[in-house]
């Protein structure tokens, strides 16, 4: 089969979403599929994927930076979310609240998440996505192969939602193409990118017209079906769960800890998204460290360094928290390798639809994983089956109990179920996807 993968994310090592696309392309290629990746590439990009297989054809598209959107980002940056839904701690004056609200209103108009995206390879820059550039590249891939005997697959991965609008335009012009609309994030109730009319229209086009819908979790599949314009059963019938995963064998090898560190090091590498509360852990560590022999330290690497700095100052936690801020992907992975525990933050309120790629990135390191936020039953069941993953609620007392127990037993070897872990190896995920597409193509061919 010939695959045209259309995604804004695909070449940047800084983006988890890019990792999903890179691994999918590589494993499809290694399973004798012909793959062309149509994706964004910043000018003078320095940290693009060097591990993308040479046989994968890359059609890289550049975009102009949206300067006004970038300026708005500088002036109206999001402050971090806490119990009240507005900030971690501290009173906000009416003037500050008004300024933030007005800023978000402007961002919603000028920085429409339907077709505007933040360029992680450039400092505080947004880009406006050129729809026609993607369509032209996709058409060149499609038209060359439709005359042959090989099936042509267009796989559009969103967000931004404009990727699915592009898929719709290709499907409309070439009905014989098999279109897969891929979802990585919630389309309803997403606190990071709330739906706009254009986003809803693009999603509706995908839900109605795509031959197949893939999503990163069963929860997200059910969410899409629940809010679909064509009925839940119709969407479920053409949906398929394509989890994020890993490509390394390290995740299924036995893990042997070392006790060389003077402290037990917990590392978190990523963004502090809405409803993700690192302050609970910081307060718990502060209290526990004063009562145990083997204390803890917390290392943070990511784009939310200002939020971490504020919490550290409020909690007087400088003695055990190291904030490295935004670092290269290579350095973040190095810190993960040197950590004793990897921290994953999930929502502190019930939600459905998310199965972050960060979890599978952590899984490659084959270390104990501490998860704060226990409202995702699908994730909790996966973690239970794999082993070595400790899921806790946002409850300081329970976090303290875990830390004390962990320190009393450290160092120890964790036990993981290799069979359960291997379900998320991209070689198996890609095989499953190919088999599912072949099954649906055969069904379509014979009118099933």
Q: Mind listing the pLDDT tens digit for each residue in 131-151?
A: 999 999 988 888 766 666 789
Would you call the peptide bond into 149 cis, given omega within 30 degrees of 0 as the criterion? no
Q: Is 2-62+129-247+425-445's fold the same as 250-422's?
A: yes
pLDDT score at 24: 95
Beta bridge partners, 158, equal 183
pLDDT score at 147: 63
- Which of 2-6, 84-88, 271-275 is predicted with the least confidence, judged by mean pLDDT? 84-88
pLDDT score at 226: 86
pLDDT digits (tens, 9 = 90+) for 356-402: 788 988 998 889 999 999 988 899 999 999 999 999 999 999 999 99
- Which of 53-67, 173-187, 344-358, 360-374 is predicted with the least confidence, judged by mean pLDDT? 344-358
pLDDT at position 93 over 80: no
Domain covering 250-422 in this structure, CATH number: 3.40.50.2000
More confident residue, 307 or 50: 307
Spatial distance between the Cα atoms of 125 and 140, rounded to a whole number of angstroms: 30
pLDDT score at 112: 81
pLDDT score at 229: 82
Spatial distance between the Cα atoms of 154 and 24, rounded to a whole number of angstroms: 13
| 290 secondary structure, DSSP code | T
The contacts found for 202-206 with CB under 8 angstroms, 24 or more apart, are: 202/114, 202/158, 202/161, 202/162, 202/164, 202/165, 202/168, 203/158, 203/161, 203/164, 204/229, 205/164, 205/165, 205/168, 206/156, 206/158, 206/164, 206/167, 206/168, 206/181
**Contact status, residue 357 vs residue 21, Cβ threshold 8 Å:** no
CA 271 to chain CA mean position, Å = 11
2-62+129-247+425-445 architecture in CATH? Answer: 3-Layer(aba) Sandwich (3.40)
pLDDT band at 102 (very low <50, low <70, confident <90, very high): very low
CB-neighbour burial class of residue 448 (10 A; exposed 0-12, middle 13-18, buried 19+): exposed
**Contact status, residue 187 vs residue 213, Cβ threshold 8 Å:** no
What does the mean pLDDT of the chain come to? 83
**Contact status, residue 354 vs residue 217, Cβ threshold 8 Å:** yes
pLDDT score at 228: 82
Residue range 272-295: mean pLDDT, rounded: 90
Q: The tokens of 79 are what?
A: 């402050």
Residue range 76-85: mean pLDDT, rounded: 40
- Domain segments of the chain: what residues? 2-62+129-247+425-445, 64-127, 250-422
In three-state secondary structure terms, 1 is coil
pLDDT at position 250 over 80: no
pLDDT at position 238 over 90: yes
pLDDT band at 254 (very low <50, low <70, confident <90, very high): low
pLDDT band at 188 (very low <50, low <70, confident <90, very high): low
pLDDT at position 256 over 80: no
Spatial distance between the Cα atoms of 441 and 256, rounded to a whole number of angstroms: 46
């Amino acid at each position: 089969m010939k695959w045209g993968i259309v995604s804004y994310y695909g070449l940047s090592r800084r983006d988890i979403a890019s990792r999903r696309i890179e691994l999918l392309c590589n494993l499809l290629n290694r399973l004798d599929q012909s793959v062309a990746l149509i994706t964004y590439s910043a000018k003078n990009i320095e940290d693009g994927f060097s591990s993308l297989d040479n046989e994968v054809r890359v059609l890289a598209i550049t975009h102009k930076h949206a300067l006004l959107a970038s300026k708005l980002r500088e002036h109206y940056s999001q402050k971090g979310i806490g119990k009240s839904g507005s900030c971690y701690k501290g009173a906000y004056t009416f003037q500050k609240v008004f300024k933030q609200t007005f800023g978000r209103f402007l961002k919603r108009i000028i920085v429409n998440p339907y077709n505007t995206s933040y360029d992680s390879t450039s400092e505080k820059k947004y880009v406006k996505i050129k729809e026609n550039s993607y369509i032209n590249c996709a058409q060149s891939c499609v038209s060359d192969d439709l005359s042959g005997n090989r099936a042509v697959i267009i796989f559009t991965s969103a967000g931004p939602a404009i990727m699915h609008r592009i898929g719709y335009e290709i499907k409309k012009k070439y009905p014989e193409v098999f279109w897969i609309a891929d979802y990585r994030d919630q389309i309803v109730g997403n606190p990071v990118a709330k739906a706009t009319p254009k986003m809803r229209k693009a999603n509706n086009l995908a839900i109605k017209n795509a031959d197949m819908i893939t999503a990163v979790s069963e929860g997200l599949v059910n969410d899409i079906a629940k809010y679909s314009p064509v009925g839940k059963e119709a969407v479920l019938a053409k949906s398929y769960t394509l989890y994020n995963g890993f490509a390394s064998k390290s995740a299924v090898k036995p893990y042997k800890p070392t006790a060389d560190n003077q402290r037990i090091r917990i590392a978190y590498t990523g963004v502090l998204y809405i409803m993700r509360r690192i302050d609970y852990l910081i307060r718990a560590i502060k209290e526990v460290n004063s009562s145990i022999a083997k204390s803890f330290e917390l290392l943070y690497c990511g784009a939310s360094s200002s939020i971490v700095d504020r919490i550290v100052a409020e909690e007087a936690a400088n003695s055990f928290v190291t904030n490295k801020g935004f670092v290269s992907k290579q350095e973040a992975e190095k810190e993960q390798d040197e950590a004793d525990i990897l921290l994953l933050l999930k929502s502190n309120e019930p939600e459905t639809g998310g199965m972050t790629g960060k979890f599978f990135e952590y899984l490659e390191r084959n270390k104990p994983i501490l998860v704060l936020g226990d409202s995702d039953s699908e994730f909790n069941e996966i973690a239970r089956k794999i082993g070595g993953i400790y899921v806790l609620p946002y409850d300081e007392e329970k976090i303290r109990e875990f830390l004390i127990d962990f320190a009393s037993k450290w160092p120890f070897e964790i036990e993981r179920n290799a069979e359960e872990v291997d379900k998320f190896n991209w070689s198996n995920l890609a095989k499953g996807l190919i088999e599912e597409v072949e099954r649906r193509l055969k069904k379509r061919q014979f009118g099933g």
